[in-house]
Amino acid sequence: MQRLSDMGEAVGMTKSDLRGAINAADDWLDSNMAAYNLALPLLVRNLLTARLKALILVLLILRRFEVL
């Protein structure tokens, strides 16, 4: 909630609503990590740690939505 407030974007939701969205996104991530890993080039898949693969995904999402 604090992060959303800091961004200065008005959102009409409660903390419970936000928690539901976070839980849904977390469930989606659990269900789709294998597909993301398989989408990566073989060399990247074999050389990078799960942490670095996650960082690539996070940076891509932040850049796509112009948060960075």
pLDDT tens digit sequence for 5-54: 777 777 788 889 989 999 999 999 999 999 999 999 999 999 999 999 99
Q: Taking the model in full, what pTM does it have?
A: 0.74
pLDDT of residue 68: 63
Task: Write the Ramachandran bin of 8: left for phi over 0, alpha for psi from -120 to 50, otherwise beta.
Answer: left
Q: How many domains does the chain have?
A: 1
pLDDT of residue 18: 86
Yes or no: say if 68 and 62 are a contact pair by the CB < 8 Å rule.
yes
pLDDT of residue 1: 66
* Owning domain of residue 35: 2-64
pLDDT of residue 11: 74
